[in-house]
A and B are shown apart, each in its own frame.
Chain A
Amino acid sequence: MADRRPVLLVVDDEPAILGIVRRFAESEDFDVATHAGGRDLVAELPALKPDVALVDRNMPEVGGLDILRTIREIDPACQVILMTGEATVDSAVEAVKLGALDYLSKPLDFDRLRELLSTVRHGIERRRRLLAADTELASRFEFYGMIGRSPAMQELFDLIRRLAPHARTALLTGETGTGKELVARAMHRLGPRRDRRLVVFNCSAIVDTLFESELFGHTRGAFTGAVDSKAGLFETADRGTLFLDEVGELPLAVQAKLLRAIEYGEVQRVGSSEARRVDVRTIAATNRRLSDEVSAGRFRQDLYYRLNVVDIGLRPLRERREDIPYLTAAFVKEFGERFGKSLTGVSPGAERLLHNAPWPGNIRELRNMIERACMLSEGRMLSEREVLHALGGATQRGPTLPQPAAQADSLDAQPQLDGRTVERVLQQVGGNRSAAARRLGISRRALYRRLDAFGLR
């Protein structure tokens, strides 16, 4: 791929001109595709993937300016050079305003054309080197699946390295998509229990009545449907690590039992009077401010203090934008390979977009977006258009949502997520609460709490 020749597309209704340019450009190490007119060009552009196009301005069917517009629209990474028999200052200005790289008069000045082609070639090589460098750097700044060059992330990696061998409990706080589970996995891998099991449990994914038996197990016949006795996750994770995601969603009654399990290593299956001993490292994570939950009486203070002994905060992506290029490079490489596309990076415009986006869903959102863009991509570089398109799929569907979309899960932390917004989103998805919660970026339980709070249930 590195030695792939750049592609020049020539569009002219005069076959002899096509021949001249082909011979010239091939001797300059370009692959050349020729087209006698603008018709059908749109359909063929994605397959041709030209790096640069040389287009005659005056053609009978489709004018060169229209072709220029079309190419800039479909494949902004492709540079366009217009050529004309009658160059005027005005038409040149117009062409450059529309995004043309240059405007040449016929007969073509080969020296000028050679300079332009070498400009294009250098541009391609520069982007390719940048991606290679970013990917290389990304791997150097990778830590158990997390990528971060920013001081914030380097400090985090350092903290994990130092805490992992010792901490028996830890609380990870951070917005959704900041990588809390990856931190938990890193702590497990770096700790003394690395050869034992890591059990992951998402507290928002289960109904209230089942928490207890999931976590602590149950005996046969303990409740309707309990046809067999079953070990809980604490027992499964014995001598290993249990990761409790979205721990703020746990009902108060279960919190008390969780505290006992953590503090004394004792669990009791539902329906059994006998306590079993377990030795489990517990890592809890939340995207809420647990101290607020404590003040509001929704989270037990003693459990909070027990978990909070080691508190690891994860920064949102918008506070470490310097990591975006490395993350992007790593994801483009990952998905390029997965989809079998030879993607070399993102266009400068796309890079700007990625850098400036708000990323309420943080790295998960960035990763999903790159995945979508890679899937859609027709070129060798993710274009501004493809990125915009993929971004739109992520955040724009509900155009009524407030921009710094909803990830903090407490009502107080998200004042703009008012009853009207929730109601409107519910209507948009036809009353499907799971879909509404997804769109709002909150858990289903959090949605139910809001519905109660707003009297919408």
Chain B
Amino acid sequence: MTEPSASNRVTHDLVHEFKNHLAVIVGFCDLLLRELPDTDPRREDVLQMQKAGRDALALLPRLTTRMP
């Protein structure tokens, strides 16, 4: 295996950073969903955020596997 190129490493680090931020977003969504009562209408909003965050996380591996 050759040394990863500089640009690949930058991509890799960026992906890692993104993942961390998304984990925070999803984590707080999870917390809110635990804390909001079942009848609270805002649950729907939080669920949307949580889903968007998870979808974004799911996209990340595709970025790294496309690297040469």
Which chain A residues have a beta carbon within 8 Å of chain B's beta carbons? 14, 16-17, 20, 23-24, 27, 58, 85-86, 106-108, 110
- Which residues of B sit under 8 angstroms from A108, Cβ to Cβ? 23, 27, 30
A107-B22, A107-B57, A110-B34 as given contacts; A20 in contact with B16, CB under 8 Å: no
CB pair B16–A86 under 8 Å, yes or no, is: yes
Could you tell me which residues of chain B, from 41 to 61, have a CB within 8 Å of some CB in chain A? 53-54, 57
Chain B 1-35 against A: per-residue CB contact (8 Å), 1 yes, 0 no? 00000000000000010011011101110110011
Bound Cα distance from A58 to B22, whole angstroms = 16
CB pair B19–A85 under 8 Å, yes or no, is: yes
CB pair A85–B16 under 8 Å, yes or no, is: yes
A86-B16, A106-B23 as given contacts; A20 in contact with B34, CB under 8 Å: no
Minimal Cβ-Cβ distance residue in B for A106: B23
CB pair B31–A17 under 8 Å, yes or no, is: no
Bound Cα distance from A20 to B54, whole angstroms = 17
Bound Cα distance from A24 to B26, whole angstroms = 13
- Which residues of A sit under 8 angstroms from B27, Cβ to Cβ? 16-17, 20, 106-108
Which chain B residues have a beta carbon within 8 Å of chain A's beta carbons? 16, 19-20, 22-24, 26-28, 30-31, 34-35, 53-54, 57
A-B pairs with the 4 shortest C-beta distances?
A20-B27, A16-B24, A107-B26, A106-B23
Tell me how many residue pairs across A and B have CB atoms closer than 8 Å: 44
Bound Cα distance from A65 to B27, whole angstroms = 23
Known: A107-B30, A107-B57. 11 other contacts (CB 8 A): A16-B24, A16-B28, A17-B23, A17-B27, A24-B30, A27-B35, A85-B19, A107-B26, A107-B27, A107-B53, A110-B30
Minimal Cβ-Cβ distance residue in B for A56: B20
Q: How far is the CB of A26 from chain B (nearest CB, A)?
A: 11
CB pair A20–B20 under 8 Å, yes or no, is: no
Q: How far is the CB of A20 from chain B (nearest CB, A)?
A: 4
Q: Given B24, B28, B34, B57, which contacts A14 in the complex, CB threshold below 8 Å? A: B24
Bound Cα distance from A108 to B19, whole angstroms = 12
Q: How far is the CB of A80 from chain B (nearest CB, A)?
A: 20
CB pair B24–A85 under 8 Å, yes or no, is: no
CB pair A23–B31 under 8 Å, yes or no, is: yes
Bound Cα distance from A17 to B19, whole angstroms = 12
Bound Cα distance from A20 to B21, whole angstroms = 13
CB pair B16–A107 under 8 Å, yes or no, is: no
20 contacts between A and B (CB under 8 A): A14-B24, A16-B27, A16-B28, A20-B30, A20-B31, A23-B31, A24-B34, A27-B35, A58-B16, A85-B19, A106-B19, A106-B20, A106-B27, A107-B23, A107-B26, A107-B30, A107-B53, A107-B57, A110-B30, A110-B34
Q: Given A20, A23, A86, A110, which contacts B24 in the complex, CB threshold below 8 Å? A: A20
Minimal Cβ-Cβ distance residue in A for B25: A107
Bound Cα distance from A16 to B21, whole angstroms = 9
Bound Cα distance from A85 to B15, whole angstroms = 10
